Structure 1
Amino acid sequence: MSRRRGWTYMSTSDSSDIADLSMMQLADSFFPTGMYTTSNGLEALFYSGRKMKPAELRELIRIYIEHQMGPADCAALGNAYEYASKSDVKNVIRVDKILHSMKLVQEIRNASARSGTQMLRCTNFFVTKDKVLNEYAAAIKSGQAFGPYPVALAVACNALSIPKRKAGLAMLYSFSVGMVGAALRLGMFQHLEGQKMIDELKPVIARTVDENINRPVEGMWQFAPQVDIVQMSHENMTSKMFIT
């Protein structure tokens, strides 16, 4: 330990603590990926006059998690993480392209790519020597890859030594908070109701990660046609608070 101006500093640090802190950093809305500007179609539902109760929104988020985010985004994150850990950028890009093609709604597809690219750009500002991160970022810049958020997050988490499962938990938690946050900004619920909703979604998040984080690329899927329709309806709105 050393002392400086009355403060005590540890000369060594626990690497798992640093990884956990890095996970919280990436999952925090303060991290500038632009995810807080998305509602995933919730804004369209709100302006359609649909009055939702907290339990109904929780059920909607569950559908997103179990039928879109889990088998597609979480599976893509898991595969991209494994390839990144082996410095296999070619297959990271392969997962990138598969996931990008699976996002059927243009607004959602573009938002994911913007947020993923921003995730890499911000992480690359303080993690400058990770080979996979640098090569993947270069592939996006040259047009060889698209940068969907789950794949970009996997590469960033690998660079920061964040375990794969925790990366999946952080992604689904951030998604849930983003949806609840959008509902709060739209005036649908109060903060206490939002926190209760997030707490009730924790078992769904944990179970979905466990079921999908090791899913093979060939097994990736998503099927939530009503959600797709809601998301597409947002594209046709003339005045919007959110980009999705």
Structure 2
Amino acid sequence: MIGSAIAPQLALMQLSDSFFPSGSFTLSHGLESLVQEKQLTSSEDLQTFLKLLLRNKVAVTDTVALIHAYRGSAIDDLDAVRLADAQLFAQTLVEKTRETQRKSGRALLMVASSTWQDVQLNSLNEDATTGKIHCLHPIIFGVVGRVAMLSEQHTVLAFLHSFITGLLGAAIRLSIVGHIQAQQILLQLAPEIEKAYHTAASMNLNQMWSCTPAIDIAQMRHQRLTHRLFAS
């Protein structure tokens, strides 16, 4: 039997690994549009794109909602989880983003329910079926982190790590960077990821905000691309 100290560490690696089928690898968050339109052409552009997403959107919106979902789950308050989900849905203005968040959230819930046995996951599956919850990906990730015995901090770091590595993987497929450059960028972004956690942890749901207009518009244009590798 795995020791109590080791199990959460293994769960952290499992959740943050691209091998875990959460569906996030199908998303480019507007990156594909910017690349095809020649607005993003270098590793420097990519780093700017990732920093903007972290600072002006993910840290102050998605991660805030994730943390409050985790905290609600930790005290067995699913109403708090549902509230975080509703607030994040209202805060996510781009329809395609809401749609992909729901799809990847439901995919994550399905995988988690088949991997871990937990009454909250069963309740959320019922909520998703009856429409009581939008089932957005950051919300489900927060609950799954608690179910997997991760701390709040480790849950957030797993989420942010998988978010960034997913986009770096997309950049590799779009031929913006190679594998070595991607690893270098990931290491350079470590302080940004840490800062994103501390920023989000200090905010309440009513303080969520985002300001990434160029990226949002790129996401809206994505569905009009002639050729697409990604869902967003």
* TM-score with structure 2 setting the length: 0.96
Indicate which of 185, 190, 204 corresponds to 1:197: 185
Q: Any unmatched runs of 5+ in structure 1?
A: 1-11
Alignment partner of 1:77: what SS?
helix
Give the corresponding residue for 1:65: 54
Post-superposition, which runs of at least 4 consecutive aligned residues in structure 1 deviate over 6 A? none
Indicate which of 15, 30, 38 corresponds to 2:27: 38
For residues 218 and 45 of structure 1, what CA distance do their matches in structure 2 show? 31
Equivalent residues, number: 232
Residues 216 and 117 (structure 1), Cα distance of their counterparts in 2 relative to 1, 3 Å cut? same
> Could you give the per-residue CA deviations for residues 15-39 of structure 1, whole angstroms, max 9, x where no partner exists?
2321121121111111111111111
Q: What are the within-5 Å matches in structure 2 for residues 208-219 of structure 1?
A: 208-219=196-207
Give the corresponding residue for 1:18: 7
1:51 Cα deviation after fit:
4.7
Alignment partner of 1:15: what SS?
coil
Indicate which of 91, 96, 100 corresponds to 2:85: 96
For residues 15 and 137 of structure 1, what CA distance do their matches in structure 2 show? 28
RMSD (CA atoms): 1.3
Indicate which of 223, 232, 237 corresponds to 2:211: 223
For residues 237 and 107 of structure 1, what CA distance do their matches in structure 2 show? 14
For residues 177 and 134 of structure 1, what CA distance do their matches in structure 2 show? 29
Indicate which of 61, 77, 80 corresponds to 2:69: 80
Which of the pair has more CA radius of gyration? 1
* TM-score with structure 1 setting the length: 0.91
For residues 95 and 76 of structure 1, what CA distance do their matches in structure 2 show? 5
1:238 Cα deviation after fit:
3.5
Contact persistence 2:91–2:208 (CA under 8 A): no
2:110 partner amino acid: R
Question: Which of 214-223 and 153-162 deviates more?
Answer: 214-223
2:94 partner amino acid: V
Give the corresponding residue for 2:16: 27
Alignment partner of 1:52: what SS?
coil
Q: Any unmatched runs of 5+ in structure 2?
A: none
